[in-house]
Amino acid sequence: MENQQLFVANYKTQQQAEDAIKKLKKSGYDITKLSIIGTEVLSHLSESNMRI
């Protein structure tokens, strides 16, 4: 089994979550490996339609 890293975070706003994703991407993390769970999401989010 491959060694996997786990990171869990909870953000109050979508903007805070997007900012965290930007920081991960900037530090070299492959954000295509992220899973995001949210409530009150108005549209499907992906790297192509986020403000990254």
The pLDDT tens digits of the residues spanning 9-41 come to 999 888 999 999 999 999 999 989 888 888 765
DSSP annotation string for 19-34: HHHHHHHHTT--GGG-
* pLDDT score for 28: 95
Q: Which amino acid is at 36?
A: I
Q: CA–CA separation, 39 vs 28, rounded Å?
A: 27
> What pTM was estimated for this model as a whole?
0.64
8-state DSSP, 14: H
* Residues 6 or more apart whose Cβ sits within 8 Å of residue 49: 43
* Residues 6 or more apart whose Cβ sits within 8 Å of residue 24: 31, 34
